[in-house]
Amino acid sequence: MTTISFQGGRIEGTISPPPSKSHTHRALFLASMAKGRSIVTNCLLSADTLATMSACRAMGAGISLDGNVATVDGGELRAPADPVDAANSGTTMRILTGICSLFDDPVTITGDESLKKRPMGPLLDSLEACGVECRSNGGLPPVTVKGPNRGGHMLIDGSVSSQFVTSLLLTSPMLPSGSKIEIGGNLVSAPYLDVTTHMMGLFGANASREGNVFTVSGTGYKAYDYSVPADYSSAAFPLVAGALGGRCTVTGMDPADPQGDKVILDILRQAGADVTVEGISAKVEGRTLKACDIDMGSVPDLFPIVTVLLCTAEGDSRLYGAPQLRFKESDRIETTVRMINALGGNVEGTDDGCIIHGVRRLRGGHVEHHGDHRIMMSAAVASILCEGPVTMDDPECASVSFPGFPEAMRTIGLLSEVQRCTRSAPR
């Protein structure tokens, strides 16, 4: 077992966040469906994206890696012969389920124990309405799908996860007549759909949107050379660290990219931090922070680190609008509340977020992150506010989205110490 202790520190320096996990997933799936050879540069090589790479290979795509550059020969996909293991990646599970509905042979998709708790029902209901045979464990993985998918008019509940809509969108150009996708309920995490349709267009697809209805032509995809941009959701950790403990410059960002999580810069400004953006770099310098109310519905991945940002701000803050947080790698509302309170904060969970009562200082302590990478990294940044260290087991879980997180943060002053413990076998 590995235990890590974070001791805060004075934040100073420049850091480049890793490439976007969301963009890497989509680029690999798109390149696998596209006819011809695509080059995907600056891939994030993490546990989740490697699960997507393995899934694409299982469908017959040829993928070779040279560093973080993937050469993908796509366009001739087939049903995987064996069950596909999506590991802990909800994005892999959900997008792959849509693509596998194209095949006449049944395909089973499974994952680890955490992934088997992630809902799949709304996506399966939509696919069944298109003629796809679907089996699941009461709407949970493992799932089995068998096409053909006849496309047409699809109705999908958008209140649980935008990944269901992304799955239908990415699949639709492969259907002979395309599809019309109508989203019911409150659409959550909407900026991710802007990323999806933007990237579909780069690979030759035609998707248009009018309100909550997407129309997608059955054009297929064409090969495209794509460079994955840096990830704003990963950049949020050093940016918040700078706001809490000094100053930090994050570089390599694309201000024109439709990533929703770039709103972290606006949130930092709203909380009182000094934010300067120049080209591909953003600099944040700490000031006295103030409480604020923030709608997290479109940017749920920022919820844990924004809670850390505001936990010592003067006054009461409210984060709201994101009930889908209950269905992430963990129940992120519950795990975030427990994390902050274990360190001496004062946070109350709500159905769609939390209420943060600002305290003067955190005390530190041990955090149970339940294998959730965003909880682990948020707790590490929270150590800047603590009188004592923040300890956690399994720091390796950060590799899901930010490989080498402790080492990268150490370069800008976040102190940490790793201890590897060997447990003797019971007698």
Tally Cβ neighbours within 10 Å of residue 226: 24
Residues 183-215, buried b or exposed e (16+ Cβ, 10 A)?
Answer: beeebbbbbbbbbbbebbeebbbebeeeebebe
The pair phi, psi for residue 160, each rounded to 5°, is -100, -50
Amino acid at position 356, single letter: I
- Tell the burial category of 351 from Cβ atoms under 10 Å away from its Cβ (0-12, 13-18, 19+): exposed
CA distance 241 to 409: 9
Choosing from 301, 352, 372, 393, the catalytic residue is 301
The continuous run of DSSP H or E covering 250 comes out as: strand 247-251
Tally Cβ neighbours within 10 Å of residue 252: 17
Q: Of 99, 189, 161, which is closest to residue 329 (Cα–Cα)? A: 161
Q: How is residue 212 written in tokens?
A: 């909550």
Q: How is residue 299 written in tokens?
A: 């940017």
**Is position 301 annotated as part of the catalytic site?**
yes
Residue 18 three-state SS: coil
Rounded alpha-carbon distances, angstroms, from residue 101 to 56, 97, 129, 174, 180:
14, 6, 12, 11, 16
Q: Of 237, 314, 304, which is closest to residue 271 (Cα–Cα)? A: 314
The continuous run of DSSP H or E covering 191 comes out as: helix 191-202
Cβ(213)–Cβ(169) under 8 Å?
no
Cβ(19)–Cβ(252) under 8 Å?
no
Q: Computed over its alpha carbons, how large is the radius of gyration of the chain?
A: 21
CA distance 373 to 378: 9
HSE, CB side, 13 Å, CA atoms: give it for residue 2.
11
The residues carrying an active-site annotation are: 301
